[in-house]
Amino acid sequence: MKFTKRSNNHLTAHLYEHLFFIHLDTLLQAKGYFPIIDYSVDAYTDDGEITFEIDAYRDIHIHNFLSQAADELLSNNELLAIACTQLESESHHELLIANSDELIASLKEINTLLWNTDVKAEVNTRNIAKGEKIKIIELELIIDYPNVSQALKPLYRLVAGVTMNTFVSNIADTYGGFVASSAFETTADKSLLGRVHLCERVQVSEIQDLFNESVEDLTTKGGYSRLLTDLQNIDSMKLAPSNERAEADTGVSMDDTKWAEISNEQNLQISLNALKLQVAYEDISTNE
């Protein structure tokens, strides 16, 4: 499903997109749904036009979530500050806000617009501007394949990938980071790689804690179990793992039957026990 809104000011629209995304993602995760496993949201802003592409793999009432996100959108200044930081992390430039009350009024204008109408929100374009370049840290998150048997690698890689996806979105929503990688990006030696751009260096211990919390959430809220069930029931598979990518990354050729064979509770536990995160930082501000 595709949802669009338009505004006369690109930066305000882009900020609205990030703020709305944080709310939507937080609401979905609070209900125990996880990206890749239960839904996918892709959001972008192009010349003042905001687009959300949303796919639900479960019985999720997307319209309810959209209206709840809109209702709560401007009730939380902390999330607005995080959305502003996300824009800075993404653009590598400071975000200048002339008057935050007026900016909130502009965001309200966009918020009250219905999705998919031709009406454009007219906002005050002087409230927000792009400032100087700022220092950006790239957080590199690596999960490799230690102590996992060859046959189990495709399942391990998938479990690691969905974990990485939830984890990087949690970093973005907590520290105002910008996720600069896809869910299944790999390093030269095929380890799984997550990349997040940050305005400030976050302590390794905090990152590790957030990783452990992501794994815990996926476990206790049934994310991994739903993934397993889908992989076991080929006919009702919601998430089709890419067999080509699995083979390229693990050297194991896969088909639906093989996924069903290796996807059981015991192998999931082995995979979860093997999950180890490595954290590295790089100052990328001078690389542009």
Comparison of 176 and 241: residue with beta carbon closer to Zn ion: 176
Comparison of 38 and 90: residue with beta carbon closer to Zn ion: 90
The rounded distance, in Å, linking the Cα atoms of 38 and 162 is 11
Comparison of 40 and 243: residue with beta carbon closer to Zn ion: 40
DSSP 114: P
Nearest to 135 by CA among 284, 288, 287, 282: 284
Q: At its nearest, how many Å lie between Zn ion and the CB of residue 18?
A: 6
Residues in contact with Zn ion, shown as a per-residue x/- string from 183 to 202 under the rule CB under 5 A? --------------------
Supply the DSSP string of 60-83, one letter for each residue.
Answer: --HHHHHHHHHHHTTS-HHHHHHH
Comparison of 165 and 263: residue with beta carbon closer to Zn ion: 165
Q: At its nearest, how many Å lie between Zn ion and the CB of residue 90?
A: 5
Q: Which residue has the CB atom at the shortest distance from Zn ion? A: 90
The rounded distance, in Å, linking the Cα atoms of 93 and 16 is 17
Q: At its nearest, how many Å lie between Zn ion and the CB of residue 112?
A: 22
Binding residues among 75-134 for Zn ion as defined by CB under 5 A: 90
Nearest to 160 by CA among 205, 187, 193, 209: 193
The rounded distance, in Å, linking the Cα atoms of 25 and 20 is 8
Size of residue set near Zn ion by CB under 5 A? 1
Q: At its nearest, how many Å lie between Zn ion and the CB of residue 91?
A: 8
Binding stretches for Zn ion (CB under 5 A)? 90
